[in-house]
């Protein structure tokens, strides 16, 4: 192999068309990759042509990474996030360091973490809808503002909790630092094999977040007579759930490989993004 010849010959780029900086960086990135003899496929959304890429660059914020991750479920292609947004917790790098990171990755110096996903299948009026996938979380929330939602949580055909409040978050460890954290749920390392249940504004002094084994299959039933509900995947895909609907939730068999810099650790990201561990 010639010196400086890239390990990856094909790269796909998905950019957020709503962010001007992402559109500008896409044009620069296209030229930069072509100058290094890398074939580039890109656009504002995932296409079938991207299935041939060695990895996919998600150019935007965390929302872009989540959108790309759901679109490529089952492809087994690594996703590398470049943060042009605010937080960028899922990103491998910030936009200012894009080309330094990509140079390392093209040279084979990246690191892949296989992240678990959650799968949700809704049963509405006798019809099965789904499965839907999420990298961060599946949320069942009240569909009417200011109305209490009642949910029953069942596993192994046994009721184990009744939640009354604004809803319930079922998250992956990756999603533990997203909506789950904002709702006072625990931070869980992404290597831990688990699901997290976190009630949203529970109407109780005693309902606390719960961490369960990833092998659990959960059935969440929307109870009456109060409000209907909404099923939301990563805050981007939404489905109305009338009273009486059920949602089957489990860890997905598919995983999403995130491509990261070799020296970027989960604890470093916690410290830099969330100021965790500071005095």
Q: Cite the active site residues.
A: 62
- Rounded Cα distance between 171 and 185, Å, is 10
66 Cβ contact partners less than 8 Å away, ≥ 6 residues apart: 90, 134, 135, 136, 234, 235, 236
- Rounded Cα distance between 2 and 107, Å, is 12
- Rounded Cα distance between 121 and 247, Å, is 6
In Å, the largest CA–CA distance within the chain is 69
Residue 33 has phi, psi (to 5 degrees) of: -70, -45
- Rounded Cα distance between 215 and 5, Å, is 43
Measured between its terminal Cα atoms, the distance across the chain in Å is 49
**3-class SS of residue 41:** strand
């Amino acid at each position: 192999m010639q010196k400086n010849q890239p390990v990856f010959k094909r790269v796909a780029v998905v950019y957020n068309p709503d962010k001007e900086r992402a559109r500008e960086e896409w044009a620069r990135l296209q030229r930069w990759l072509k100058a290094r003899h890398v074939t580039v496929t890109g656009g504002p959304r995932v296409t079938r042509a991207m299935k041939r890429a060695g990895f996919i660059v998600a150019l935007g914020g965390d929302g872009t990474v989540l959108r790309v991750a759901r679109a490529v479920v089952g492809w087994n292609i690594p996703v590398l996030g470049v943060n042009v947004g605010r937080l960028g917790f899922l990103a491998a790098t910030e936009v200012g360091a894009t080309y330094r990171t990509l140079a390392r990755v093209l040279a084979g110096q990246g690191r892949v973490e296989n992240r678990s996903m959650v799968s949700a299948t809704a049963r509405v009026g006798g019809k099965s809808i789904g499965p839907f996938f999420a990298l961060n979380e599946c949320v069942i929330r009240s569909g009417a503002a200011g109305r209490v939602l009642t949910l029953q949580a069942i596993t192994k055909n046994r009721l184990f909790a009744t939640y009354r409040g604004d809803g319930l978050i079922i998250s992956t460890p990756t999603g533990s630092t997203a909506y789950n954290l904002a709702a006072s749920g625990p931070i869980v390392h992404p290597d831990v094999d688990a699901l997290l249940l976190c009630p949203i504004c529970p109407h109780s002094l005693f309902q606390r977040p719960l961490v369960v084994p990833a092998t659990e299959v959960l059935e969440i039933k929307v109870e009456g007579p109060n409000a209907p509900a909404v099923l939301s995947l990563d805050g981007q895909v939404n489905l109305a759930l009338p009273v009486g609907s059920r949602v089957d939730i489990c860890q997905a068999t598919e995983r999403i490989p995130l491509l990261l810099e070799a020296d970027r650790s989960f604890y470093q990201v916690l410290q830099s993004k969330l100021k965790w561990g500071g005095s």
